[in-house]
């Protein structure tokens, strides 16, 4: 089958645009030479050629694009060339179509830093999806496993450790959404990456959720997160466990299933299947029990219409193509210095970039967040953010942990960002 046709890589709009400019140039030439029977001068040719400027192509270039540029093979060749140019003097491995693993060493102040990169061309890697993955098979958030186990359970060819988590039980500390379902909400409105069918976005995320009953609306401050303030109203699902945590001082709990309050108590309630237990101040929650119907609405700001997955991190490293490290704003002052690092970002062409940096050893001293930010910018990230690092930093590629974490094979972690086979 013809590659150009089968690959379906033509942009119809682009094709029409090119034809229009060719037609315009040809019409100009014909009007000059035939309609008015005037001599065609070199200046006229320059003017006619200039009509092609909006697409920036000569006739010969247009012909070349029509033959090659939009084929899968041509895109793959271009991707390979860009990778070689971007990562000189590096060990480059093809993991699968559109997926590259790069090993390199950079020097900072004369000291070596060992870096692993996975770059994914999302157009070429159409058989794969990029998404967060929990360590648990049963989607409970209270779980920890190795990156190898998480990757194999999710049928993934590449994976890195994900958002920060509570080391005692594995609860993700930050926004985590998988397949449209919010598992945990944001901590300190830290930056998160939204994953869509056609690309990515990055922003500081707030929880924007409510419980409504009659004329009363109560703000829900978070979901499936440990309590930070006694005044907070928190929602818990069975992803947390079977029983809601204890109420705060002067606190109250209501269980909701199918838009109805099924139970209320000052003590911990059992979390109903496909429902919630809302825990917060009595003065806010108890009045809701007089209503026959309640409605829980969960969402985030920004709304990110069409978002499929969200993974949280912090701080920003690159924002709108500029280095931007806002540690203080996101309360991350404790993670400074040279350390093992994990980061994600994306390019203007929607290539995903996953990075791990080894540290705390003579052969690789680690990076500061500022050094990591400049590195992410240098490899083309228009937006990038830091993920959990230190002892959690680990990268899996094609069946193997490819970096050198402090614990061989990597410690047990809560969640990961994976490049998983579809289906």
Other CB atoms closer than 10 Å to residue 423's CB: what's the count?
Answer: 6
Instruction: Determine the Cα–Cα distance for residues 326 and 199; give it in Å rounded to an integer.
Output: 24
Counting residues of the chain whose pLDDT is more than 90, the rounded percentage is 79
Same domain, 340 and 395: yes
Closest CA to 130 of 202, 200, 207: 200
Phi, psi dihedral angles at 148 (to 5 degrees) = -65, -45
Same domain, 309 and 289: no
Whether 158 is covered by a domain: the verdict is yes
Same domain, 323 and 176: yes
Query: The tokens of 9 are what?
Result: 């890589």
DSSP state, residue 10? -
Question: What's the CA angle centered on 274, arms 268 and 276, to 5 degrees?
Answer: 35
Query: The tokens of 168 are what?
Result: 């005692």
Whether 184 is covered by a domain: the verdict is yes
Instruction: Determine the Cα–Cα distance for residues 90 and 241; give it in Å rounded to an integer.
Output: 46
Same domain, 220 and 118: no
Among 20, 40, 70, identify where a domain stops: 70
Helices 42-50, 12-30: inter-axial angle, 10-degree rounding: 160
Other CB atoms closer than 10 Å to residue 14's CB: what's the count?
Answer: 13
Per-residue pLDDT of 248-303, as tens digits, reads: 999 999 999 999 999 999 999 999 999 999 999 999 999 999 998 999 999 999 99
What's the domain range around 53? 3-70
Among 41, 70, 99, identify where a domain stops: 70
Same domain, 237 and 136: no
The string over 321-344, giving b where at least 16 C-beta atoms fall within 10 Å of a residue's C-beta and e elsewhere, is eeebbebeebebeebeebbbbbbb
Cross-strand partners of 158: 397, 419
Whether 250 is covered by a domain: the verdict is yes
29 membership: H or E segment, kind and range: helix 12-30
Among 275, 298, 321, identify where a domain stops: 298
> Measured between alpha carbons, how far apart are the two ends of the chain, in Å?
25
Same domain, 323 and 377: yes
Same domain, 200 and 320: yes
Whether 337 is covered by a domain: the verdict is yes
CB 115 within 8 A of CB 353: no
Positive or negative: CA dihedral 139, 145, 147, 152 = negative
Per-residue pLDDT of 107-155, as tens digits, reads: 999 999 999 999 999 999 999 999 999 999 877 899 999 999 999 999 9
CB 312 within 8 A of CB 192: yes
Task: Identify the pLDDT of residue 57.
Answer: 64
Same domain, 198 and 335: yes
Whether 75 is covered by a domain: the verdict is no
Instruction: Determine the Cα–Cα distance for residues 231 and 89; give it in Å rounded to an integer.
Output: 55
Same domain, 213 and 281: yes
Same domain, 136 and 191: yes
Whether 406 is covered by a domain: the verdict is yes
Whether 274 is covered by a domain: the verdict is yes
Q: What is the mean pLDDT of residues 222-231?
A: 94
Domain count, the chain: 3
Q: With bands split at pLDDT 50, 70 and 90, how would you rate the model's confidence at 327?
A: confident
Same domain, 35 and 184: no
Same domain, 311 and 278: no
Task: Identify the pLDDT of residue 52.
Answer: 47
Positive or negative: CA dihedral 316, 322, 326, 327 = positive
The distance between the two most distant Cα atoms of the chain, rounded to a whole number of Å, is: 95
Mean pLDDT of the chain: 87
Going from the C-alpha of 283 to that of each of 115, 210, 289, the distances in angstroms are 53, 16, 11
Alpha helices in 121-179 (DSSP H): 147-153
């Amino acid at each position: 089958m013809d590659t150009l046709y089968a690959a379906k890589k033509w942009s119809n709009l682009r094709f029409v645009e090119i034809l229009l400019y060719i037609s315009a140039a040809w019409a100009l030439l014909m009007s000059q030479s035939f309609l008015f029977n005037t001599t065609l001068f070199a200046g006229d040719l320059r003017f006619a050629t200039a009509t092609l400027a909006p697409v920036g192509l000569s006739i010969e270039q247009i012909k070349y694009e029509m033959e090659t540029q939009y084929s899968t093979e041509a895109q793959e060749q271009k991707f390979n060339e860009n990778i070689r140019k971007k990562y000189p003097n590096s060990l480059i491995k093809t993991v699968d179509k559109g997926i590259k693993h790069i090993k390199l060493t950079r020097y900072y102040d004369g000291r070596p830093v060992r870096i692993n990169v996975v770059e994914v061309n999302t157009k070429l890697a159409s058989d794969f999806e990029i998404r967060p993955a929990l360590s648990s098979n049963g989607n409970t958030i209270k779980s920890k496993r190795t990156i190898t186990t998480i990757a194999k359970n999710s049928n993934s060819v590449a994976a890195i450790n994900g958002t920060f988590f509570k080391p005692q039980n594995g609860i993700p500390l930050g926004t985590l959404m998988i397949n449209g379902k919010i598992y945990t909400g944001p901590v300190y409105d830290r930056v998160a990456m939204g994953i869509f069918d056609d690309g990515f976005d990055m922003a500081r995320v707030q929880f924007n959720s409510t419980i409504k009953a009659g004329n009363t609306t109560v703000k829900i401050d978070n979901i499936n997160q440990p309590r930070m303030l006694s005044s907070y109203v928190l929602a818990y699902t069975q992803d947390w466990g079977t029983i809601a945590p204890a109420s705060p001082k002067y606190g109250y709990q209501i269980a909701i299933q199918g838009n109805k309050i099924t139970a209320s108590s000052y003590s911990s309630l059992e979390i109903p299947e496909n429902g919630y237990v809302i825990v917060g101040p009595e003065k806010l929650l108890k009045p809701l029990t007089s209503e026959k119907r309640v409605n829980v609405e969960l969402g985030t700001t920004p709304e990110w219409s069409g978002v499929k997955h969200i993974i949280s991190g912090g701080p920003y490293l690159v924002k709108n193509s500029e280095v931007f490290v806002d540690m203080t704003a996101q309360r991350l002052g404790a993670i400074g210095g040279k350390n093992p690092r994990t980061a994600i970002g994306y390019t203007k062409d929607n290539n995903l970039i996953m990075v791990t940096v080894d540290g705390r050893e003579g052969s690789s001293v680690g990076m500061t967040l500022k050094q990591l930010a400049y590195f992410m910018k240098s490899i083309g990230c228009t937006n990038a953010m830091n993920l959990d690092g230190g002892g959690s930093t680990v990268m899996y590629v094609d069946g193997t942990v490819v970096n050198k974490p402090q614990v061989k094979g990597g410690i047990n972690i809560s969640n990961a960002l994976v490049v998983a086979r579809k289906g």
